[in-house]
Chains A and B, each alone.
Chain A
């Protein structure tokens, strides 16, 4: 069974810092990996999706990388802002017809002004 791990569970940084959020998964036979943002009391917003054939994706200040061989993905946030404070979850979709996602528990990020 695929397991997705995100450590640490929480992170607090000062505004302006560049930071890296880590995600690891046990089964390298993934179809894609996605990063989501979740604000308190709200649903999930997709940030980046990396197909298994890709190594990274970028959107604005966000960059996500994927290393299937080591079972790792990272989300890089440049020049962090208080508005980036949220919970960040990674999720993998397995190879196969069903694209259900397996999520990590998330990393709760707090960016201090």
Chain B
């Protein structure tokens, strides 16, 4: 595709609901990242995939957060039993090179999650 796409763009969930956020990276990009951006803050790293392998999940805030990229393309970030502190914009980024050398990361528009 022309760029990184994310869906839905906006999601409102009641506290305790499960949500799933989707990311479609640029075609052929090896690396995929998820970041969380709270209001007025910079994005914070959540997790990183190289193809289908999740190489780093050190930024996931709790075991309620789970990410997958089963075929090395589309990725889904799932949040179980959402809490109000999960309200944020979730950004997905992809880049064309594997780890060891950093290339520009291309970001999607984000999904704004609001937990009531």
* A residues adjacent to B (C-beta < 8 A): 4, 31-32, 34, 36, 41-46, 49, 89, 91, 93, 96-106
Contact = CB atoms under 8 A, between A and B. Distances in A.
Interface in B71-116: 91, 93, 95, 99-110, 112
B109 A103 contact: no
9 shortest interchain CB distances as A-B pairs: A103-B42, A97-B99, A99-B102, A43-B107, A44-B107, A100-B45, A93-B102, A43-B109, A46-B104
B41 A105 contact: yes
Most interface-central of B100, B105, B106 (chain A CB within 10 A)? B105
B104 A89 contact: no
A25 to B, nearest CB: 12
Contact of A43 (B31, B55, B110): B110
Contact of B42 (A49, A99, A104): A104
Nearest to B109: A43
A105 B40 contact: yes
B99 A31 contact: no
Contacts of A93: 102
A102 B33 CA distance: 12
Interface string B40-52: 1111110010000
B18 interface: no
B60 interface: no
B33 A100 contact: yes
